[in-house]
Amino acid sequence: MANLKEIRNRITSVGSTMQITSAMKMVSAAKLKRAQDAITQMRPYANKLTELLVNLSSSLETSEGGEFSSDRPQSKILLVAITSNRGLCGGFNANIIKKINLLLQEDYKESQVSILSIGKKSSEYFNNNNFSVVSTHDDVFSDLTYDSIASIANSIMQDYINQKFDKVVLVYNQFKNAATQNVMNEAYLPVESINENESSIGDYIFEPEKKEIIEELIPKSLKTQLYKAVLDSHASEHGARMTAMHKATDNASELKKDLTLTYNKARQAAITAEILEIVGGAEALNS
């Protein structure tokens, strides 16, 4: 059994850790509220814009200017990995890396795959493991704005138009609640159309021409879709960290209780041993 000093040091250490994890939990909870408000306000607009785009593009031919919905062999794939800049958030980052490795082994094993990383954790992993990384964007979370994400989306769209990539896929954590994040494998480019029997476009009167509306709408929709994915990931990160720190605080509390019990038992045993020594010495003197 460890001596009393060692146990006291461990209790102090666990108590300090518990204070840190508790503080990190509260900080993440405060940040989560802002991030959750941002994604819940953004999601309906982004979903409706994407729905409208898909409906309109279903009636648009490539020859009419649908360069983002062109049908060509998908041999060159770009995976956009969205993670965080920091750890201590459970399996948040590991789940994205695991999903991408799974896609490489199953869906795109015959394709030429490149990675565009958003977040330091994905950048570090893919660069250190010799993946084909076209660019890294680790600074977006320090100033998360629509404009900063739009510039990344513009770069991706330009590479797609220039046929540098045939397909672009977003891999990110979708925010559901503080304790649940769903790993998404979401098609980004080409813009997917729907079957005519599934279309709900109806009879629209286009002003100006439909072609002009589509050419303006597609880039805006793609920028919004990427921005929504980053906001989803940002909210998921804070939710995952808050949950992880809550569990860590609970575990530290339980460990501190166990150590305190062990300390009390060891202290009681030491006191009992001292009493027995005193009694034994007194008996020896009386005999």
Task: Enumerate the active-site residues.
Answer: 89
Question: Cβ distance 84 to 176 under 8 Å?
Answer: no
Structural tokens at position 56: 């309109």
Contact partners, residue 263, CB within 8 Å, separation at least 6: 4, 7, 8, 11
Find the radius of gyration of the CA atoms of the chain.
28
Question: Strand ranges (DSSP E) for 68-227?
Answer: 76-82, 112-118, 133-137, 167-177, 180-189
User: CB-based burial of residue 34 (10 Å sphere; 0-12 exposed, 13-18 middle, 19+ buried)?
Assistant: exposed
Q: Which of 281, 205, 255 is nearest to 12 (CA)?
A: 255
Exposure of 30 in the CB half-sphere (CA atoms within 13 A): 5
Smallest CA-to-CA distance from 185 within 203, 167, 212 is with 167
Structure tokens at 144: 């998360």
The β-bridge partners of 181 are: 175
